[in-house]
Amino acid sequence: MPVLDFDKFKENFSLHNHRVRVFSWPFFGTILIASGLFILYKLNQYVDPWASWRQALGNATNFCELNRFDELIVQPSNTWSNLGYIIIGLIFISIAKNDLKYEHRKEVKNMLAKFPGFSYLIGASALYLGIGSFMYHATLTFFFQKLDQTGMYFLLISFIAYSLFKLFPTIKFRGKVYVSNSFFIVSAIIMQLLFFFFLWRLPINITFPALTLTFFIANFVLIAKVRNSTSIISLLKASGITLVIAASIWILDITNKLCSPQSVFQGHALWHLLNTASIFLAYLYYRSETILTEEQQEVVEQN
């Protein structure tokens, strides 16, 4: 990426003190580690360490890809395609780290750049989802199925928490006005823990779409309510369209309408990659906007 192009990119997405390596090291680092794991996998491909583990429930075995229960990785394509989640998770964490170091952060108009805790939260959730889904499709075991399922909830909760923060950037307590970032981050973590220990038992085919719908509704409310904002709205639209395409492919794969069991190209793997793109586009949309009123900006800068 040419320097001038990246300078423009930094300007559009509030990446004030960032360099190209904020994106390059998560990508190349993940690929390097994955290459080592792939070599280890090929050397032990016909070893089955998961036979004694409790098997995953529900539609775990219904994906199109051939289930290789006598091998180290049961669903190879569906497994390796989760690297995308890991890469963007590390990118978000890397961005958050640089945001935190920026000496003029309090003067930044973008809320996500001003409060790096949300980038840490979203990044950690994406990383958790990537590792959980990787292990789930590699093993088709109950334990990692839970990590995969709760990972999807964690990521949605993180985005919803940030959306609610934008709707209510300040809160009043005992007559004083405070910035609400810590409240929503802590609330999101508590909700994530509740999902991990209890709420993950809810039917995923209802809970996941409901949370997804909540996310988009919160953003539509923001767009309608906050008039003094500027953003690249096309990024949010692209994120939504990509997610709809991904969901359509997921359905075609699980119903075997788009299916070639032994092929490297799998619909569910494409679902992972398109979800990765959707998440990244949503994050960029948030980095492109400013939404505070002058009064709210004054409160934020004072804290």
Residue 284 has pLDDT above 80, yes or no: yes
* Helical (H) or strand (E) element with 205: helix 204-225
Three-class secondary structure of residue 287 per DSSP: helix
- Range from 180-184, 215-219, 242-246 carrying the lowest mean pLDDT: 215-219
Report which of 100, 101, 87 is spatially closest to residue 23, judged by C-alpha positions.
87
Q: Which residues touch 46 (CB under 8 Å, ≥6 apart)?
A: 70, 71, 72
190 compared with 10, residue with greater pLDDT: 190
**Which contiguous run of DSSP H or E holds residue 176?**
strand 176-179
- pLDDT at 260 exceeding the cut of 50: yes
How does residue 3 score in pLDDT terms, banded at 50, 70 and 90? very low
Please tell me the distance from the alpha carbon of residue 111 to that of residue 94, in angstroms, as a whole number.
17
Going from N- to C-terminal start, the domains of the chain cover 3-302
Q: Give tens-digit pLDDT for 91-131.
A: 999 999 999 999 888 888 889 999 999 999 999 999 999 99
Mean pLDDT of 272-281: 97
pLDDT(222) > 90: no
pLDDT at residue 232, rounded to an integer = 80
